[in-house]
């Protein structure tokens, strides 16, 4: 490594530390579950997207072991070479049924799905209207596409309308893209209004259901189901690695879109197919979602209760209305300090700082799991009050 390059890296690290934005990984000693061992200490886990507790469930483990014995550890090639197992196609068929779309296509993770989808569908002269708080993978997909990115203020439909009017003369393709559940705020996009605006201005709607798949709607299909919009959202993306407990992602849409992606989406084409155990886990998880509505009911009931308690205590949970509950802190250092004190007291709620969230809005991100036990949630509230007071947040 050249001395110049070393100097550059050291300076970058110093700057991140100075801003309170330096990131370090923490080590979990076991499986992802409601209580974990963090650097050797048992803590209540509020940092997992394993919302239904499926990642470490016996049912998923058994399905994975069975498929491992039958199909092996890896697919061996990309889907377009010899990696396309009947298992992949079976899962895609079930995902399309689940999302009530004509077709679906697997991607290796949500990040790749968003990058692949957006960069394949749009080009330099197209316009993408994107909610200010959309996930980084959406932004990166837009950057890859080289389309014009127009960020609209978070959930501000009046402003989106204005921007659509301003760009109405544009002859190229228009897209409106949004998370359905926002990953750091825990609020829900106004999808009905977005779909109506898209119809009026001839735009294509892309919705990222990463944090909603398996949880929202009568059958767990997502916010599109909750808001009665199945069949009205053009393109949906979902992940298999959060509530579904495994790994991977998918895009569900019209067959024309899916065929196009098979031919054009580089993160689909140029990578090894998802391994059979990941497919088996997703198949089993979808089966559980269909047959165990009590899991999502428990998750949402507990989340509603926990959020109301936090608000009553005096914490600012922003506009959360889901199982993702932020506690606004403000300064980066204070959020890190809060999080560390909580770990010491037996709770893991990570501090989220810029650039993941806007400057001055550092926060703790609490995500609930269906497998959290009520006594643990009650204990967590007591600890949050005690430390919240100590650091003068409440």
Q: Which residues are at the interface with ligand PLP (CB under 6 A)?
A: 109-111, 114, 135, 137, 179, 183, 208, 210-211, 239, 241, 249
Give the strands of the sheet with 127-131, arranged side by side: 103-107, 249-253, 235-239, 204-208, 174-179, 127-131, 148-152
Residue 343 burial (CB count, 10 A): 16
d(CA 168, CA 156): 18
Nearest distance, CB of residue 283 and ligand PLP, angstroms: 17
Nearest to ligand PLP of 208, 225 (CB atom): 208
CA 5 – CA 280 distance, rounded (Å): 45
CB of 214 to ligand PLP, least distance (A): 13
d(CA 351, CA 366): 9
Nearest-CB residue for ligand PLP: 110
Pick between residue 183 and residue 317 the one whose CB is nearest to ligand PLP: 183
Minimum CB distance to ligand PLP, residue 141 (Å): 10
- Alpha carbon 76 to its chain centroid, in Å, reads 28
Work out how close the CB of 237 gets to ligand PLP at its nearest, in angstroms, rounded to a whole number. 7
Nearest residue (CB) to ligand PLP, 210 versus 310: 210
* CB nearer ligand PLP, residue 140 or residue 333: 140
| Nearest distance from C-beta of residue 187 to ligand PLP, angstroms | 12
Residue by residue, DSSP assigns 31-60 as: -SSSEEEETTEEEEE-S-S-TTS-TT-HHH
Compute the least distance from the CB of residue 138 to ligand PLP, in Å. 7
Q: Cα(first)–Cα(last) distance of the chain, in Å?
A: 48
Catalytic positions: 183, 211, 242
| Cis omega (within 30 of 0) for bond into 355 | yes
Q: Which tokens belong to 9?
A: 């890296």
Q: Which is nearer to ligand PLP, 111 or 338 (CB)?
A: 111
User: Tokens at residue 180, please?
Assistant: 């359905």
- Dihedral-angle region of residue 392 (phi above 0 means left; psi in -120 to 50 means alpha; beta otherwise): left
Q: Nearest 5°: CA angle at 36, between 27 and 371?
A: 140
Q: Which is nearer to ligand PLP, 117 or 384 (CB)?
A: 117
The two three-digit tokens of residue 46, written as one number: 């509020």
């Amino acid at each position: 490594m050249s001395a110049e390059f070393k100097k550059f890296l050291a300076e970058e690290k110093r700057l991140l530390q100075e801003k309170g934005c330096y990131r370090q990984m923490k080590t979990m000693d076991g499986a992802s579950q409601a209580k974990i061992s963090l650097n050797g200490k048992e803590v209540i886990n509020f940092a997992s997207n394993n919302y239904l507790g499926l990642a470490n469930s016996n049912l998923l483990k058994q399905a994975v072991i069975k498929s491992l014995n039958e199909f092996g550890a890896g697919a061996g090639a990309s889907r377009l070479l010899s990696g396309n197992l009947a298992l992949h196609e079976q899962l895609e068929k079930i995902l399309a049924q689940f999302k009530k779309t004509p077709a679906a296509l697997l991607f290796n993770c949500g990040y790749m799905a968003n990058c692949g989808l957006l960069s394949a569908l749009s080009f330099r002269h197209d316009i993408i209207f994107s909610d200010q708080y959309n996930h980084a993978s959406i932004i990166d997909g837009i950057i890859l596409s080289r389309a014009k990115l127009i960020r609209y203020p978070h959930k501000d439909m009046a402003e989106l309308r204005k921007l659509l009017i301003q760009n109405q003369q544009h002859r190229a393709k228009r897209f409106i893209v949004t998370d359905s559940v926002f990953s750091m705020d825990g609020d829900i996009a106004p999808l009905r209004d977005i779909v109506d605006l898209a119809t009026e201005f001839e735009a294509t709607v892309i919705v990222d259901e990463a944090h909603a798949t398996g949880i929202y709607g009568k059958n767990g299909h997502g916010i599109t189901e909750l808001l009665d919009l199945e069949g009205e959202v053009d393109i949906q993306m979902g992940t298999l690695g959060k509530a579904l407990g495994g790994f991977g992602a998918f895009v569900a849409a019209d067959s024309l879109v899916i065929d196009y992606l098979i031919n054009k989406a580089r993160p689909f084409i140029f990578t090894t197919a998802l391994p059979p155990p990941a497919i088996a886990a997703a198949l089993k998880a979808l089966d559980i979602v269909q047959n165990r509505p009590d899991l999502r009911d428990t998750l949402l009931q507990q989340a509603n209760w926990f959020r109301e308690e936090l608000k009553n205590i005096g914490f600012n949970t922003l506009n959360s209305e889901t199982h993702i509950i932020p506690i606004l802190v403000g300064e980066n250092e204070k959020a890190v300090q809060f999080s560390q004190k909580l770990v010491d007291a037996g709770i893991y709620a990570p501090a989220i700082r810029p650039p993941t969230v806007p400057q001055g809005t550092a926060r703790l991100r609490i995500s609930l799991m269906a497998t959290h036990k009520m006594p643990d949630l009650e204990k967590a509230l007591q600890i949050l009050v005690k430390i919240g007071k100590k650091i003068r947040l409440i």
